[in-house]
């Protein structure tokens, strides 16, 4: 599946963190500024050699627990179309904190090909409160839109900045539930927070439980650890280590992208 979508079995998916959008309390009132930075980061990622891009409303924090405002959905649609005007890389959506249905709708409206869902199944305690997975609603909505099987669903397992409800939650079983019961096309393993690498043993447990399912790293990838991560995982989603000076709020640095891709290309 990854090879068909990204042209490689070990893809590097760069992240564009959109500046605050109209639905955010930090919205500046200048949409064109948001779009210009998104375009610049898309060019930097593409020039550096990534295999795909995922677009997030990352700087909209604090996030809503449920559906985002209509203005956010509209702005993300515009952003994706602007990004597509400067690159032909595969594009995905992550609408934070967990609005998979809006992500799917934006994909249909723009032609983007995949979505990231932080909580597809189960229930997690987050800074937004308790978020419950809604795989049934998502798949039925994609069926309604004629997008079932066309838009790929990448599901986080034990997503970062969250804790499972109840005791005894186990990452391998959660991953199997995401694929076998919630119909995810790929699963994502992350560290505890943005920029934190996952536990190698967690990656191995998930891979052992789902040997035929693509496993992506959702946080903490960098040139120093990518060989270790990709020894088990099938690809990485990366943002923090590609920013100028490694500072999350800064724009993407094309030289950092190139350095990371050189390390990944040695493994392909």
- Domain carrying residue 219: 7-265
Integer CA distances (angstroms), 200 to 26, 156, 228, 238, 265, in order = 36, 16, 8, 17, 21
Classify residue 2: in a domain, yes or no: no
Residue 252 counted as domain residue:
yes
- Three-state DSSP class for residue 157: strand
Domain total in the chain: 1
Residue 30 lies in a domain: yes
Q: Per the domain annotation, does 1 fall within a domain?
A: no
Instruction: Kindly state the DSSP code that residue 35 receives in the 8-state scheme.
Output: H
- Residue 59 belongs to a domain: yes
pLDDT digits (tens, 9 = 90+) for 38-95: 999 999 999 999 999 999 999 999 999 999 999 999 999 999 999 999 999 999 999 9
CATH number reported for the structural domain that contains residue 11 in this entry: 3.20.20.70
Q: How confident is the model over 112-171, as pLDDT tens digits?
A: 999 999 999 999 999 999 999 999 999 999 999 999 999 999 999 999 898 888 756 799
Residue 162 inside a domain? The answer is yes
């Amino acid at each position: 599946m990854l090879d068909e979508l990204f042209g490689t079995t070990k893809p590097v998916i760069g992240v564009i963190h959109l500046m605050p959008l109209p639905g955010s309390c930090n919205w500046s009132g200048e949409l064109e500024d948001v779009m210009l930075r998104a375009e610049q980061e898309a060019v930097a990622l593409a020039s550096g050699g990534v295999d795909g891009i995922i677009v997030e409303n990352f700087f909209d924090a604090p996030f809503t627990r449920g559906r985002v405002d209509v203005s956010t959905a509209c702005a993300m649609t515009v952003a994706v179309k602007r990004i597509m005007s400067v690159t032909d890389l595969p594009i995905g959506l992550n609408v934070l904190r967990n609005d998979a249905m809006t992500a799917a709708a934006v994909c249909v409206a723009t032609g983007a090909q995949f979505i990231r869902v932080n909580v597809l199944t189960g229930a997690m305690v987050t800074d937004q409160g308790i978020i419950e997975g809604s795989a049934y609603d998502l798949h039925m909505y994609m069926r309604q839109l004629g997008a079932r099987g066309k838009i790929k669903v990448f599901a986080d397992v034990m997503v970062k900045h969250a804790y499972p409800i109840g005791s005894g939650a186990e990452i391998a079983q959660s991953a199997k539930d995401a694929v076998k019961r919630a119909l995810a096309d790929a699963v994502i393993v992350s560290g505890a927070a943005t920029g934190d690498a996952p536990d190698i043993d967690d990656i191995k447990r998930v891979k052992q439980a789902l040997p035929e399912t693509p496993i992506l790293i959702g946080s903490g990838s960098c040139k120093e650890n990518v060989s270790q991560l990709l020894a088990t995982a099938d690809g990485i989603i990366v943002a923090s280590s590609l920013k100028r000076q490694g500072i999350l709020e800064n724009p993407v640095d094309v030289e950092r992208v190139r350095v990371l891709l050189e390390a990944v290309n040695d493994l392909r």
